Structure 1
Amino acid sequence: MSYDEFYIKSVVRAIPDWPEAGVIFRDVTPVFKDPRAMRMVCDAFIQRYMRTGITHIASVDARGFLLGSVVAYQLNLPLVLIRKKGKLPGTTLSREYQLEYGKAAIEMQTDALEPGNRVVIFDDLIATGGTLLAAISLIHELGAEVEEVAALIDLPDLEGSQRIQDSGIPVHALLAYEGL
């Protein structure tokens, strides 16, 4: 583990038994409060995507916006927002996905992407992968290609990153936490 990874991991807060008993919640909000950690995270992603030929950054509501917007700004790329249903004006596409306790839906504006665009999707954390798989589906419906899914944290025991990779999309996470 590099010094940067060690430092960032030391800033992420573990909250036991939240949202339910037996779960260790990985709280990334301290990263956003620590300028050094935030710079390390964003710089790592900027370096990764600097010379890749991607044309757009897509970010998932809401903490994905914080990472994706910085990366899009630094790489001088358009930022595409993927939001919870009912939050975007204009004509949108919508996708439902399963949660542990029901269903949710995300949306994207129909003019956000076009065929030939090459997109990296940002989110803060990969758990079961439902939200990101729905985002991939929306992007593909507009004819664009997803080059990679990027996240600060992967929780591999929940198999979301594996589901995304099984769909043919590479995954890059800066940190991984084993165990629930």
Structure 2
Amino acid sequence: MHSDISHVQDLIRDYPDFPKQGILFKDINPVFRDGKSLDILGNHFYDQFQKVKVDYVAGIEARGFIISTLLGLKFNKGVIMIRKAGKLPGTTIKQSYGIEYGTAVMELQSDSLRTGDRILIADDLLATGGTALAAASLVEDLGGKVAGFAFIIELSSLDGGKLLRERGYRVHSMVVY
């Protein structure tokens, strides 16, 4: 298993000072272009969550959609999209969350899940945890339960994983920096 994680980690590229000075951007696009990595991702997260009851896999826009689709296929479950405000038709619920310079809003279609459904939430990167907490709030506002969080990368110095774990969520990050 370790060699599989190393394969994925070796494909993650660093871009210093992107998108602005002082930021070290972790680019996972090469991971998504590599068929072997996609297989590794699906198998890795399935191994981590196979004993957890999952009714749906939710992906956070946009790269989370790729991961949630891989996991939906592995678990034979449907996929729910948590999107930026204004992107979903019909009745939605909204949740604002903090971003670097202000706030943003995510939304979820009100009929995406039923009370008691267990949702595995997937995204590419866990930093401060604000986006993940907003996604969890949307699921919980509709009566769902968060079955866990699956991230490719966790930036441990920003404490998002600590925040989520302290709130009782099951969190698994494939690569931790």
Query: Normalising to structure 2: TM-score of the pair?
Result: 0.96
- Residue in 2 that maps onto 1:88: 88
Consecutive aligned runs of 4 or more in structure 1 exceeding 3 Å deviation: none
* Cα separation, 2, equivalents of 1:74 and 1:156: 27
Aligned length: 177
* Cα separation, 2, equivalents of 1:116 and 1:138: 13
Between the aligned residues of both structures, percent identity stands at 38
Q: Residue 65 of structure 2: SS of its match in structure 1?
A: helix
- Residue in 2 that maps onto 1:118: 118
- Residue in 1 that maps onto 2:141: 141
* TM-superposed deviation, 1:20: 2.2
* TM-superposed deviation, 1:49: 2.7
- Residue in 1 that maps onto 2:60: 60
- Residue in 2 that maps onto 1:73: 73
Q: Residue 21 of structure 2: SS of its match in structure 1?
A: coil
* TM-superposed deviation, 1:172: 0.4
- Residue in 2 that maps onto 1:175: 175
Kindly provide the amino acid, as one letter, of the partner of residue 55 in structure 1: D
Kindly provide the amino acid, as one letter, of the partner of residue 128 in structure 1: T
Q: CA RMSD in A?
A: 1.2
- Residue in 1 that maps onto 2:164: 164
* Cα separation, 1, equivalents of 2:100 and 2:74: 36
Provide structure 2 residue ranges, at least 5 long, that are not aligned to the other structure: none
CA contact (8 A) 2:52 2:147 kept: no
* Cα separation, 1, equivalents of 2:122 and 2:31: 16
- Residue in 1 that maps onto 2:101: 101
* Cα separation, 2, equivalents of 1:88 and 1:132: 19
* TM-superposed deviation, 1:170: 1.6
- Residue in 1 that maps onto 2:3: 3
* Cα separation, 1, equivalents of 2:94 and 2:173: 26
CA contact (8 A) 2:43 2:74 kept: no
- Listed one character per residue, the Cα deviations across residues 12-47 of structure 1 (whole Å, up to 9, x for unaligned) are 011111122222111111101111112111111123
Provide structure 1 residue ranges, at least 5 long, that are not aligned to the other structure: none
* Cα separation, 1, equivalents of 2:35 and 2:55: 27
Query: Normalising to structure 1: TM-score of the pair?
Result: 0.94
